Structure 1
Amino acid sequence: MRDPHVRAELLLSLSDRMARVADWDVAQAEPGFRAPVEHFEDLVWLFSSNWLNHRFTRLDLDEAAYLYRILTALDRPRVAELGRFRGGSTVFYAASGARVTSIDGNPKQDVWGPELEQVLDRLGLREQVELVVGDTRLHEPGEDPFDLVFFDASVSGDGIRAEIENWWPALAVGGHAIFRDGRAQLPHLLPVQHEVARFARATPEADRRPDAAVPGCLVHVIKTS
């Protein structure tokens, strides 16, 4: 896979296979399908959306389009990003018009952080982003509420429970809690799925959007009061 020609041949083979088995009727039943088409993100269902699309962000293409619709419908939303990895999603949120507080405790942030800051500077987005190296379960959210909290740090039931306890009170009424891996695609993430489901069932002011309307592994909960 390190040889670019071998990698290209493999990806082309996979791409051809996916195109041959693609089904128009199935695509029109997916959450990303929109009619009539008004914006580019309404066409996301035309594209492949899977882990092979990733570069700097772990978001799948259809997940990014879904989040973009939410963010651009809000006026300068405040976003808390719990877990940023390489920072691709951080750039995405800021470029979508959000003011971003991004928290990640990975020791590699000492290397990745300066690189990300340079990119944000070049894009004119640095003033919109606060980069924090720390524990997402313990970081103080502050007094100003957030319009969207993206949970993408913890991979255990205890971890996501602690994050919810810390960040749910900081979410504005009408705000959006988005849980990556709320619908686990890998067995080790099932505790996260179970804890998110328990939280949504047990919290009267947590309105979980129907999974059929939400792409990928995301779970979308709106705070109603």
Structure 2
Amino acid sequence: MGRRTASAVVGSRVGLAIVRSAMRNPHVRAELLLSLSDKMARTADWDTAQAEPAFRVPAERFEDLVWLFSSNWLNHRFTRLDFDEAAYLYRILAAIDRPRMAELGRFRGGSTVFYAASGARVTSIDGNPKQDVWGPELERVLDRMGLREQVDLVVGDTRLHEPGPDPYDLVFFDASVSGDGIRAEIENWWPAIAVGGHAVFRDGRAQLPHLLPVQEEVDRFVGATPEADRRRDREVPGCFVHVIKTA
């Protein structure tokens, strides 16, 4: 009864407000994160880990060992990519000579830095008004890392931005959280992907109820498009749906 009561309280709006307030205290936050970390480590199962998409044999590079780590939202800082998701995208980019990619939605720009550092030429589009503040910060980081020339930072609507005549090797869809929005993005960007190129949809497998319309629209698109070859979900990490353009 005690655990059920505690769960009900924490799950309420008042309970969540209390937890969020408590998390502002660095010592309380550290204790909570340590408790979560300890529980994940104690309950981790080797056999389960070896069945996950991130498990690779032989392990030749760091990204082949990412399955040793927990991949979840607590990993996020400047990017909202989990470790296994980042490793998966890195493998795609590393297999292409001078890859050209479009990032639809960049938030703070951590993923933008990641793509550029992975060797990609990146067109990054985001319409969040806070980009007026975040953009200059990101530019300074890219300059210091010697990556600024590889990145085109665009503040605009991902559904309307003109992709241009040159094809993309990878388009990462991470902006729209509605069915109408992702449908418009697909209509705008799918023709711009090169044959053999990749479309990766964040939230193509919804982890939260409000993202179900995105999942439904991605499923509808893949089912109706013969040249959209969907990788098996059990081979793809997190909430990603990975589609390869075959024609």
Category of TM-score, reference length = shorter chain: over 0.9
Given candidates 205, 210, 215, the residue that maps to 2:227 is: 205
Q: Which residue of 1 aligns with 2:126?
A: 104
Query: Quick one: distance in 2 between partners of 1:92 and 1:125?
Result: 10
- More helix as a share of residues: 2
Match of residue 104, structure 2, among 79, 82, 85: 82
Identity, % of aligned pairs?
Answer: 88
Distance in 2 (alpha carbons) for counterparts of 1:71 and 1:6: 39
Q: What is the deviation of 1:13?
A: 0.7
- Structure 2 unaligned spans of 5+: 1-22
Match of 1:141 in 2: 163
- 1:3 deviates by 2.2
Residues 1:152 and 2:174 aligned together: yes
Q: TM-score, normalised by structure 1?
A: 0.99
Q: Which runs of 5+ in 1 are unaligned?
A: none
User: 1:162 is aligned with what amino acid?
Assistant: A
Distance in 1 between residues matched to 2:25 and 2:96, nearest whole Å: 44
Please report the RMSD computed on the Cα atoms of aligned residues, expressed in angstroms. Answer: 0.5
1: CA distance, partners of 2:137 / 2:49: 38
Letter in 1 for 2:74: L
Alpha-carbon separation, structure 2, partners of 1:11 and 1:71:
33
Residue 7 of structure 1 and its aligned partner are, at CA, apart by 1.3
**C-alpha separation between the residues in 1 aligned to 2:215 and 2:117?**
29
Number of equivalent positions: 225
Q: What is the match of residue 124 of structure 1?
A: 146
Q: Secondary structure at the match of 2:195?
A: strand
Return the index of the structure with the highest Cα Rg. 2
Q: Aligned partners of 1:28 and 1:102: how far apart in 2?
A: 34
SS at match of 2:101: strand
What is the CA distance between 1:4 and its match in structure 2?
A: 1.9
What's 1:173 paired with? 195
Structure 1 residue 96, shift from structure 2 partner: 0.2
Q: Which residue pairs with 1:46 in the alignment?
A: 68
Instruction: Tell me the distance in 2 between the aligned counterparts of 1:101 and 1:27.
Output: 34
Q: Where do 1:24-39 residues align within 5 Å?
A: 24-39=46-61
Q: CA deviation at 1:152?
A: 0.3
* Alignment correspondent of 2:5: none
- 1:5: Cα distance to partner? 1.9
Opposite residue 70 of structure 1, the aligned amino acid is I
* TM-score after normalising by structure 2: 0.90
Return 117-126 or 4-13, whichever deviates more.
Answer: 4-13
2:59 and 2:155 map into 1 onto residues whose CA distance is 40
